[in-house]
Amino acid sequence: MGKELYFEDVNVGDDIPSLAKEPTTQQLVMYAGASGDFYQIHYDHHFAVNAGLNDGVIVHGMLSMGWVAQMLTDWLPDWGLRKIDVRFSAMAIPGNTITCKGKITEKYQENGKNYINCDISCENQEGTKTVMGTATAELPSKG
């Protein structure tokens, strides 16, 4: 659940509180069941290696996007997230520590509403970005 966060309390350049995840193969199997994405590269090591993935099993891209969305919704008011747009830039694998990060890049008002734009990403423990994108949120005013 999001907390009270007001337009007046944020500034361009502010960091969004990060969120770290440590994916496991078991979690990927559970996500496959929830999402219906049963492609074996997400849970069968031998299949993934035979498919050319030298590190084996990889994390579902949409699961990584879900983590970024979780980071945002943990920080924003419950109704605040308006848009999220990402691209998958590298593979995450079980055993990685994946950290979701964000930074406010723009703050503006339009049609009497308060908005912020943010750069968002996931990166592994080596600093390789696995997800990159942008998000837009609406924030209430104190007044």
- Provide the 10 A C-beta neighbour count for residue 83: 12
Domain extent at residue 64: 7-23+59-139
The answer to whether residue 111 is domain-embedded is yes
Domain count, the chain: 1
The answer to whether residue 40 is domain-embedded is no
The answer to whether residue 48 is domain-embedded is no
Residues 12-53: tens digit of each pLDDT: 999 999 999 999 999 999 999 999 999 999 999 999 999 999
Q: Is the pLDDT of residue 2 over 60?
A: no
Q: Is the pLDDT of residue 77 over 90?
A: no
The answer to whether residue 37 is domain-embedded is no
For the full predicted model, state whether its pTM sits above 0.75. Answer: yes
| Spatial contact of 67 and 100, defined as CB atoms under 8 Å apart | yes
The answer to whether residue 31 is domain-embedded is no
The answer to whether residue 106 is domain-embedded is yes
Q: Give me the DSSP letters along 21-62.
A: E---HHHHHHHHHHH----GGGT-HHHHHHTT-TT-----HH
Residues 116-132: tens digit of each pLDDT: 999 999 999 999 999 99
The answer to whether residue 108 is domain-embedded is yes
Here the CATH number for the domain that contains residue 15 is 3.10.129.10
The answer to whether residue 46 is domain-embedded is no
